[in-house]
Amino acid sequence: MEVLANIPFVAPSAEQKKMTIDYDTIIVGGGSAGCVLANRLSADRGHSVLVLEAGRPDSWWDIFLHMPAALTYPIGSRHYDWLYSSEPEPFMHNRRVSHGRGKILGGSSSINGMIF
């Protein structure tokens, strides 16, 4: 499986042509489960699969993803993390809790520092 394009989403204009390519399966999210499913389904050459991922590719040279000691950089970085947080928690003095979610091919498994 290879990344064919890494293009930010842009809403199509009225003048743009309708997409004419058909796929047997469209998988939304290139996290661990989405990539495994795409790999299994694409093993059958007669079955076409499209994986939609909003994040960037997991590049081999990106040390922040491939070095466990760099765990603190991807989590909380707008380049790798969706930066989700909870609503204020009343029993925690209205503190918000951060929820690291991977904005990258491989999803949250790519930013967990190999600790889960």
* pLDDT (tens digit per residue) in 8-60: 556 666 655 566 678 999 999 998 899 999 999 999 999 999 999 888 888 87
What 3-state DSSP class applies to 65? helix
Residues 6+ apart with CB under 8 A from 80: 55, 56, 64, 65, 73, 74, 102, 103, 104, 110, 111
CATH numbers and ranges of domains, the chain:
21-53 (no CATH), 56-116 (4.10.450)
Confidence of residue 5 (pLDDT cuts 50, 70, 90): low
State pTM to two decimals: 0.67
In whole angstroms, what is the distance from residue 82 CA to residue 95 CA? 19
Q: What is the pLDDT of residues 56-106, one digit of tens each?
A: 888 878 888 888 778 788 888 888 999 999 999 999 999 999 988 989 888
What is the four-CA torsion angle of 63, 65, 69, 74, rounded to 10 degrees? Answer: 110
